[in-house]
């Protein structure tokens, strides 16, 4: 059965201020969606809300994944259901290699599904990790690096994509806020997504810049403005944005933004 992430009329407040004002979005396994929009319109807020960040208060609406209401699940439970959020573990963990971290993450996921699970054996894990690294054309020595310690922007992205490959989620949400300026990081994410994309994986890639879409061709493009998705179309919408910027969207939807 195809896994689906459904967002219905989602309203989210941060510190009492309403940021998302009724977002509707459906992402299915096997589809690549790009969520674009000017800065400060709520794209990252949507990503944090999907992750279950405590600061983001759902005031109305629903998020449903595989038929399960996400609103009351903690981030771990969401991840175990098969939802991947790129910035789940943004911190450096001194003394923990990327390989060990990935094994712990896989085992936590397995144990979440079956409390008696003994975890993946070390030989099996090594074989799996090598396969994934070869697929992504990453050097094996990278997995021995301590997690995020002294990682460049590109290496952080590489670690993120390897985590995505190892956890094999049904739907991945990637917020590319900071990589907008770094072409190396952008290429790593794009080629990772292109390699891993297929019928088993749905992707929601959040980006301010059209540039990453020169490397990934999305099936659907959505534009967020002032806490709502105001336009949805195919890849041609991103091309239109590259040519015309966001101004026409603002003009077209100005009337919608009047508070009632
Ligand atoms: P985008 O990712 O589209 O640039 P954000 O979701 O980061 O937009 O931000 C949308 C709005 O919400 C902005 O006005 C921002 O200031 C506010 N906001 C987001 N996160 C927080 C937070 N943690 N605390 C206070 N305000 C926030
Ligand atoms: Mg953002």
Q: DSSP letter string over 67-121?
A: TEE-TT--HHHHHHHTEEETTSS-S--TT-BHHHHHHHHHHHHHHHH-TT-----
- Of 27, 11, 117, whose CA–CA distance to 66 is shortest? 27
Contact 126, 132 (CB under 8 A): no
For residue 258, tell me if it sits in a domain.
no
- How far away, in angstroms, is 173 Cα from ligand 1 center? 17
Contact 10, 57 (CB under 8 A): no
Burial class from Cβ neighbours inside 10 Å (0-12, 13-18, 19+) for residue 39 reads: exposed
For residue 257, tell me if it sits in a domain.
no
**Residue for token digits 């603002």?**
250
Beta strands (DSSP E) in the chain are 4-14, 17-28, 32-36, 56-65, 68-69, 83-85, 171-175, 202-206, 220-225, 228-233
- Is 51 strand, coil or helix? helix
- Of 140, 142, 141, whose CA–CA distance to 157 is shortest? 142
Query: How many domains does the chain contain in total?
Result: 1
- Is 233 strand, coil or helix? strand
- Of 44, 10, 3, 41, whose CA–CA distance to 25 is shortest? 10
Compute the distance between CA of residue 28 and CA of residue 30 in angstroms, rounded to an integer.
6
Q: Best substitution site from 10, 13, 14, 50 to test ligand 1's pocket, by max atoms within 8 Å of Cβ?
A: 14
For residue 259, tell me if it sits in a domain.
no
User: What is residue 260's predicted lDDT score, i.e. its pLDDT?
Assistant: 42
For the chain, 260 residues long, give each residue's pLDDT as a single digit of tens.
899 999 999 999 999 999 999 999 999 999 999 999 998 999 999 999 999 999 999 999 999 999 999 998 988 899 989 999 876 555 667 788 999 999 998 998 888 888 899 999 999 999 999 999 999 999 999 999 988 788 888 888 888 899 999 999 999 999 886 555 578 888 888 999 999 999 999 999 998 877 888 889 999 999 999 999 999 999 999 989 888 888 888 888 876 654 44
Q: Model-level pTM greater than 0.85? A: yes
The CATH number for 39's domain is 3.40.50.300
Q: Best substitution site from 19, 36, 54 to test ligand 1's pocket, by max atoms within 8 Å of Cβ?
A: 19
Which domain covers residue 78, as residue numbers? 4-252
For the record, the structure tokens of 59 come out as 């005031």
For residue 19, tell me if it sits in a domain.
yes
The verdict on the CB of residue 192 being under 6 Å from ligand 1 is no
Closest C-alpha to ligand 1, atom 6? 42
For residue 215, tell me if it sits in a domain.
yes
User: What is residue 112's predicted lDDT score, i.e. its pLDDT?
Assistant: 82
The verdict on the CB of residue 171 being under 6 Å from ligand 1 is no
User: What is residue 89's predicted lDDT score, i.e. its pLDDT?
Assistant: 53
For residue 112, tell me if it sits in a domain.
yes
For residue 152, tell me if it sits in a domain.
yes
Burial class from Cβ neighbours inside 10 Å (0-12, 13-18, 19+) for residue 137 reads: exposed
User: What is residue 178's predicted lDDT score, i.e. its pLDDT?
Assistant: 55
Compute the distance between CA of residue 9 and CA of residue 142 in angstroms, rounded to an integer.
42
Compute the distance between CA of residue 171 and CA of residue 29 in angstroms, rounded to an integer.
6
């Amino acid at each position: 059965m195809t896994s689906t992430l459904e967002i219905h009329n989602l309203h989210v407040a941060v510190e009492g201020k309403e940021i998302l004002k009724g977002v509707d979005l459906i992402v299915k396994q096997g589809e690549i969606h790009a969520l674009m929009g000017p800065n400060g319109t709520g794209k990252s807020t949507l990503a944090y809300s999907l992750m279950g960040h405590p600061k983001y208060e759902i005031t109305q609406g629903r998020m449903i994944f595989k038929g399960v209401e996400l609103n009351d699940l903690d981030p771990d439970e969401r991840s175990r259901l098969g939802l991947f959020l790129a910035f789940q573990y943004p911190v450096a963990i001194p003394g923990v290699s990327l390989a060990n971290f990935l094994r712990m993450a896989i085992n936590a996921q397995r144990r979440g599904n079956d409390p008696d699970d003994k975890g993946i054996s070390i030989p099996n894990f090594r074989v799996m990790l090598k396969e994934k690294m070869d697929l992504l054309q990453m050097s094996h020595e990278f997995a021995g690096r301590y997690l995020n310690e002294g990682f460049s922007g590109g290496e952080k992205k590489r670690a993120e994509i390897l985590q995505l490959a190892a956890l094999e989620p049904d739907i991945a949400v990637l917020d590319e806020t900071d990589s907008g300026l770094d072409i190396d990081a952008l290429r790593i994410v794009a080629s990772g997504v292109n390699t891993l994309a297929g019928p088993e994986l749905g992707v929601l890639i959040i980006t301010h810049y059209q540039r990453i879409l020169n490397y990934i061709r999305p099936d659907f493009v959505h534009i967020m403005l002032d806490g709502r998705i105001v336009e949805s179309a195919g890849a041609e919408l991103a091309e239109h944005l590259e040519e015309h910027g966001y101004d026409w969207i603002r003009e077209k939807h100005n009337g919608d933004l009047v508070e009632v």
